Amino acid sequence: MQHGGNKPKEQYVHSVFQSIAGKYDVMNDTLSFRRHKAWRKFTMKKMNVQPGQTALDVCCGTCDWTLALAEASETGHIEGLDFSSNMLEVGQRKVEKLGRKQQITLIQGNAMSLPYEDNSFDYVTIGFGLRNVPDIKQVLNEMKRVVKPGGKVVCLELSKPTWQPFKGLYYFYFRNMLPFIAKLLAKRYEQYKWLPDSLMMFPGRAELEQIFKETGLQNVTSFALTGGIAALHIGTKESQHV
């Protein structure tokens, strides 16, 4: 994976996910108080995937979203891409257990340079992944490149609440308590300290909406979830005019 100046962040993130893969699902449930399930459900409802539609799930990790896409599409082919072999291994086991092996292909690759032709998928999604990549704009450009004209780029990600005093409370939990809970439950502190650090550097909901627009996506909409702890962004690639 050749990305020059992006290497240190990329390598660090890679080592974090290689190390927490086995505990990722249970930690997600615990640290988000299972809110991530509701956010995923809301997202699928807004996407309204139709039978037979295709999707690429970038930074698919342990494949929760990949599987939801496959279920909604029923027969359409779904690809999941991630650079952590350990996360993909957990994902592959879930795919097989749920009988979706024929429908889902998992690939080890980098979100910064997607190994697909232009205009390949009806949907290209990224769940809790954009915060982790070295260059948000490059990844969104790549997602836009591989989605079909008229198709959608969808991002579900942690975000920054704007409403005080909720904001203060939330930041206290996130910065001071969460890494300690992770230390107790998963014997991981450093890896979960990455979470608040990565959020601080990430754009808020309105800023990310602007970045979606700058990428050239159309009809960009965003939704604040659970008081702005998370946000859903959806943009459409312009249809080709004949």
Ligand X SMILES: C[S@@+](CC[C@H](N)C(=O)[O-])C[C@H]1O[C@@H](n2cnc3c(N)ncnc32)[C@H](O)[C@@H]1O
- 110 annotated to a ligand binding site: yes
- 135 annotated to a ligand binding site: no
- Token couple for 183: 């230390």
Within 96-135, the residues that bind ligand X by CB under 6 A are: 110-112, 127-129, 132-133
Min dist. Cβ of residue 32 to ligand X (A):
10
What single DSSP character describes residue 197? H
Instruction: Give residue number: closest CB to ligand X.
Output: 61
**Dihedral, CA atoms, 12, 157, 22, 28, nearest 10 degrees?**
130
- 82 annotated to a ligand binding site: yes
**Distances from the Cα of 30 to the Cα of 100, 137, 184, angstroms:** 26, 31, 12
Min dist. Cβ of residue 242 to ligand X (A):
35
Residue nearer to ligand X on the CB measure, 27 or 240 = 27
Give the whole-angstrom CA distance, residue 89 versus residue 189: 23
Min dist. Cβ of residue 238 to ligand X (A):
26
Instruction: For residue 17, state whether it binds ligand X (rule: CB under 6 A).
Output: yes
- 132 annotated to a ligand binding site: no
Residue nearer to ligand X on the CB measure, 10 or 209 = 10
Using CB under 6 A, pick the residue from 20, 60, 199, 224 that binds ligand X: 60
Give the whole-angstrom CA distance, residue 79 versus residue 106: 6
The residue whose two tokens read 């350990």 is 86
Q: ∠ CA 148-13-97 to the nearest 5 degrees? A: 65
Using CB under 6 A, pick the residue from 39, 65, 121, 123 that binds ligand X: 65
Min dist. Cβ of residue 167 to ligand X (A):
22
- Token couple for 49: 């995937």
Give the whole-angstrom CA distance, residue 169 versus residue 74: 41
Min dist. Cβ of residue 112 to ligand X (A):
5
Helix (H, G, I), strand (E, B) or coil at 163: coil
Using CB under 6 A, pick the residue from 84, 103, 159, 191 that binds ligand X: 84
- CA-wise closest residue to 12 among 197, 173, 181: 197
Going by the annotation, the residues of the binding site for S-adenosyl-L-methionine are 62, 82, 110-111
Binding residues vs ligand X (CB under 6 A):
10, 13, 17, 59-62, 64-65, 82-84, 87, 110-112, 127-129, 132-133
